[in-house]
Amino acid sequence: DAMVIQNPRYQVTQFGKPVTLSCSQTLNHNVMYWYQQKSSQAPKLLFHYYDKDFNNEADTPDNFQSRRPNTSFCFLDIRSPGLGDAAMYLCATSRPAGGPGEQFFGPGTRLTVL
């Protein structure tokens, strides 16, 4: 089945220690998104890639970076995690030209910062 995969599902890091979260997709969608979600709140968009073009949201901290080496993979790098960065991180994909802009989400990575 075509899907969005996130690894790891759970990540524990120390305050200030860099961490990388990964996302892969078999849907062949050209847009990939990273969201941050805190408890029982709506997902908050951090940035997205439209093909190779990176688009940062205005209020995304510089601490968050992303890489997309190819169509299938996208990474979220947190350079110096703070306690406030503990959250669920969601990856999503879409193919705007093929439909009404639906996004398909991965299962998420739960990040704990000690």
Partner 1 sequence: TQLLEQSPQFLSIQEGENLTVYCNSSSVFSSLQWYRQEPGEGPVLLVTVVTGGEVKKLKRLTFQFGDARKDSSLHITAAQPGDTGLYLCAGSNDYKLSFGAGTTVTVRA
Tokens of 71: 């169509």
Cβ–Cβ < 8 Å for 30, 21 = no
Q: Is 40 in the site for partner 1 (CB under 8 A)?
A: yes
Tell me which stretch binds partner 1 (CB under 8 A): 12-20, 61-69, 79-87, 90-98: 90-98
Degrees, nearest 5: CA angle 18-68-78: 15
- Residue range at the interface with partner 1 (CB under 8 A); choices 12-20, 66-74, 78-86, 88-96: 88-96
Q: Is 107 in the site for partner 1 (CB under 8 A)?
A: yes
Q: Is 84 exposed, middle or buried (0-12, 13-18, 19+ CB in 10 A)?
A: exposed
One of 24, 36, 48, 74 touching partner 1 (CB under 8 A): 48
104 makes contact with partner 1 (CB under 8 A): yes
Amino acid at 30: N
The reply to whether 103 sits near partner 1 by the rule CB under 8 A is yes
Rounded-to-integer distance, Cα 8 and Cα 23, Å: 9
Residue whose CB is less far from partner 1, 58 or 80: 58
Residues linked to residue 97 through DSSP beta bridges, in sequence order: none
List interacting residues with partner 1 (CB under 8 A): 4, 6, 31, 40-43, 45, 48, 50, 88, 90, 92, 94, 96, 99-108, 110
